[in-house]
Amino acid sequence: MMLHRILRRKILMTSLLAASALATPLMAQAQGAYPNKPIKFVVPYSPGGLPDTVARIFAQRLGDKLGQSVVVDNRPGANGVVAAQVLATSPKDGYTFLVTDGSMFSINPAIYRNLGYDYKRDFMPVSLAARAPLYLAVNPKVPVNNFQELVALARSKPGTLNYGSSGIGSTHHLTMEALKATLGLQITHVPFKGTGQSVPALIGGQVEMLWSALPSLVGFVKTGQVRLVANNSAQRSQQEPNVPTIAEVLPGFDFAPLVGVLAATGTPASVIDRISAEMALIAKMPEVIQTLNNAGIEPIGSSPADYNKAILGENERLAKAIVAAGIKPE
């Protein structure tokens, strides 16, 4: 009787172990099937801006490649804090990402106290998606044909020229302040509330120059109402290859806004690598290149390490520009 019970117990244990061995790979397979639900791209701005445009174009193609929808969730407010909180409070499972420009990590921390988020602590870079160079445009009444002539004119008449921007602390503002500081120029700043005000002021002659994205200027370039003399990226743009970069005169000068994808700290590395690889492939698609170029944007696609390097470099350059502009934290 005792022997019979022992044999039954051994048979039962053997059956349980066998069932467990069969179930383990099935469970692992189910857990490893990424993605198995929709992915969210959180954008810290309202629809229509640069990060939103990049997010939507990449989201559509990424969804096609992954077989799951990628939803863009606009969460503007509090200088990026609202979007950062959405990311921080979501599960760290690779289904929620942040798509933003670099100002959230470079300009905002230098201007606003106690933001509530920190790049190195709270975020993991996934992929640098795109850049959008700004162009230095001058009113045709300004007697210059290129950047060197503009610099010579500014030096010959210190304090008499002015420039418009999209507002204090904007990339447009800080690009010019960095340029002024590097070359020792005296050009008066006239801030506006966005390019919707600054570009018409340039056309009307209220300001003599400004930095702006190409879509806001290209129509006026074609009609001869503005002249492009430089761009603020590290290399010339395919959209305007005849317009030189400031970096050709000042090596290392690079203030073109960057847009990338980030995950919350703690997100699995395998997921980050997967999304990064897919983003790089999407950035090479001809239709993506064409669509973004039409909006004045250049697709990139990068590894997490390269994106991290780009963020840190941008932070360093903009920190110096903020000091040059005399901007103090609020």
3-state secondary structure the chain: CHHHHHHHHHHHHHHHHHHHHHHHHHHHHHHCCCCCCCEEEEECCCCCCHHHHHHHHHHHHHHHHHCCCEEEEECCCHHHHHHHHHHHHCCCCCCEEEEEEHHHCCHHHHHCCCCCCCHHHHEEEEEEEEECCEEEEECCCCCCCCHHHHHHHHHHCCCCCEEEECCCCCHHHHHHHHHHHHHCCCCEEEECCCHHHHHHHHHHCCCCEEEEEHHHCHHHHHCCCCEEEEECCCCCCCCCCCCCEHHHCCCCCCCCCEEEEEEECCCCHHHHHHHHHHHHHHCCCHHHHHHHHHCCCEECCCCHHHHHHHHHHHHHHHHHHHHHHCCCCC
- The answer on pLDDT for 202 being more than 70 is yes
Sorted by where each begins, the domain ranges of the chain are 39-132+257-325, 134-248
Structure tokens at 28: 């692992």
pLDDT at 260: 98
Write down the pTM of the prediction. Answer: 0.86
What percentage of the chain carries pLDDT values higher than 90?
85
- The answer on pLDDT for 265 being more than 50 is yes
Least confident interval from 9-13, 56-60, 173-177: 9-13
Mean pLDDT of the chain: 91
Confidence of residue 32 (pLDDT cuts 50, 70, 90): low
pLDDT at 170: 93
Mean pLDDT of 26-46: 79
Task: Read off the pLDDT of residues 110-130 as tens digits, 9 standing for 90 and up.
Answer: 888 888 899 999 999 999 999
pLDDT at 311: 96
- The answer on pLDDT for 217 being more than 90 is yes
What percentage of the chain carries pLDDT values higher than 70?
90
Confidence of residue 8 (pLDDT cuts 50, 70, 90): low
Longest dimension (CA), the chain: 111
- The answer on pLDDT for 163 being more than 50 is yes
Domain 39-132+257-325: CATH superfamily, name plus number: Bordetella uptake gene, domain 1 (3.40.190.150)
Mean pLDDT of 203-219: 96
- 79 burial (CB, 10 Å; 0-12 / 13-18 / 19+) is buried
Please list the residues that pair with 124 across neighbouring strands. Answer: 263
Confidence of residue 140 (pLDDT cuts 50, 70, 90): very high
Angle at CA of residue 253, ends 288 and 178, nearest 5°:
115
Structure tokens at 292: 């973004």
pLDDT at 330: 76
Task: Read off the pLDDT of residues 220-257 as tens digits, 9 standing for 90 and up.
Answer: 999 999 999 999 999 999 899 999 999 999 999 999 99
CATH 3.40.30.10 assigned to domain 134-248? The reply is no
pLDDT at 15: 47
**Alpha carbon of 230 to those of 84, 227, 280: distances in Å?**
34, 10, 28
Instruction: Evaluate whether 39-132+257-325 and 134-248 have a shared fold.
Output: yes
Confidence of residue 88 (pLDDT cuts 50, 70, 90): very high
Residues 6+ apart with CB under 8 A from 181: 320, 321, 324
Cα(228)–Cα(139) distance, integer angstroms = 9
Confidence of residue 29 (pLDDT cuts 50, 70, 90): very low
Mean pLDDT of 297-314: 97
Distance of CA 68 to the CA centre of its chain: 23
- The answer on pLDDT for 285 being more than 80 is yes
Mean pLDDT of 259-279: 98
Mean pLDDT of 198-210: 97
pLDDT at 23: 43
